[in-house]
Structure 1
Amino acid sequence: MTEVTEDFFASLPDRAPAVLRSPVSGTIRIDLSTGARTDHWRVELAPGQVRVSRSPEPADAIWYSSVDLFERLVTGRTQGIAAVLRNESTFSGNLTLFLIFRHFFPDPPGTRDPREVAREQAGRSR
């Protein structure tokens, strides 16, 4: 397991209040594979909080990914939905949990909020 991935999961509880604002709750298990080895991360989501464990226990949703792809996700070099649509990873179970969990991933490097760009352009035209 890469240090980037370990750091990502370790950061989730502190980041949860800002990310998990909806009333949705449930468990998502992320199965990360490399070669013949699979590491399991079980994330319990609740409004404003997260609990992370290294457990293969059943969950409401399961996301299967390679370690390499997941590292690209946690560094913002690719997007979760795009990876699933390209069949680079698979997802089963409660789709809402996947859609919520993806908000923990950073935006691609250099991405800016379009409202911020519009404000800057409006300020220059004055």
Structure 2
Amino acid sequence: MVDATTRFFEDLDRRGFEPVLVKTSGTLRFDLHEGPQSTHWLLQIDRGNVEVSREDREADSVVGTAPRLFDELVTGQENAIAALLRGDMTVSGDLRLVLQVERIFPGPSDSRGPRRVFEREVR
């Protein structure tokens, strides 16, 4: 069974391009720590073109958190900025890059933004 985090990164890699990141370039590594084990996901972004790998190498920004919390982030159950402010997530390097990439995470399923209103009206 594939977890939410793996599905998120595989889908991102398959798409290859994220329009909201068209003005973004850099490398961002996610380090997911559970006890002595760490899983790494590296995003290489070049003006919206995104490549995903499992490399543990130098990056412009590094985000550290628990795998369970990251699963919640990529399913819209948790907010990355709130987790960062609570200290449940750490960031080193270019915070601006992290804030730009955070925009590709899904919002909560009960959000009431224009997209949700549109979906209700279309049904």
Hey, what does 2:103 align to over in structure 1?
103
Residue 35 (structure 1) shift: 1.7
> What is the number of residues matched between the two proteins?
117
Residue 112 (structure 1) shift: 2.4
Residue 107 (structure 1) shift: 0.4
Unaligned runs of 5+ in 2: none
Give the letter aligned to residue 9 of structure 2: F
Identity, in percent, stands at 40
- 1:85 and 1:76 map into 2 onto residues whose CA distance is 17
What does the per-residue CA deviation read over 1:63-115, in whole Å, with 9 as the maximum and x for residues that have no partner? Answer: 00100100000010111111000000100101111011111210011112158
Give the letter aligned to residue 28 of structure 1: L
Matches within 5 A, 1:70-81: 70-81=70-81
Q: Does 1:16 align with 2:29?
A: no
Q: Which segment drifts farther, 83-92 or 106-115? A: 106-115
Residue 116 (structure 1) shift: 6.9
- 1:115 and 1:16 map into 2 onto residues whose CA distance is 21
Q: Does 1:93 align with 2:98?
A: no
Unaligned runs of 5+ in 1: 121-126
- 1:15 and 1:54 map into 2 onto residues whose CA distance is 16
Q: TM-score, with normalisation over the residues of structure 2?
A: 0.86
Structure 1 contact 60–93 (Cα < 8 Å) conserved: yes
Q: Which has the larger radius of gyration?
A: 1
Structure 1 contact 12–50 (Cα < 8 Å) conserved: yes
- 1:116 and 1:35 map into 2 onto residues whose CA distance is 38
Return structure 1 stretches of 4+ with deviation > 4 angstroms: 114-117
Q: TM-score, with normalisation over the residues of structure 1?
A: 0.84
Query: Quick one: structure 1 residues 46 and 110, their matched pair in 2 at CA, closer, same or farther if it must change by over 3 Å?
Result: same
What CA RMSD, in Å, does the superposition of the two structures yield over aligned residues? 2.1
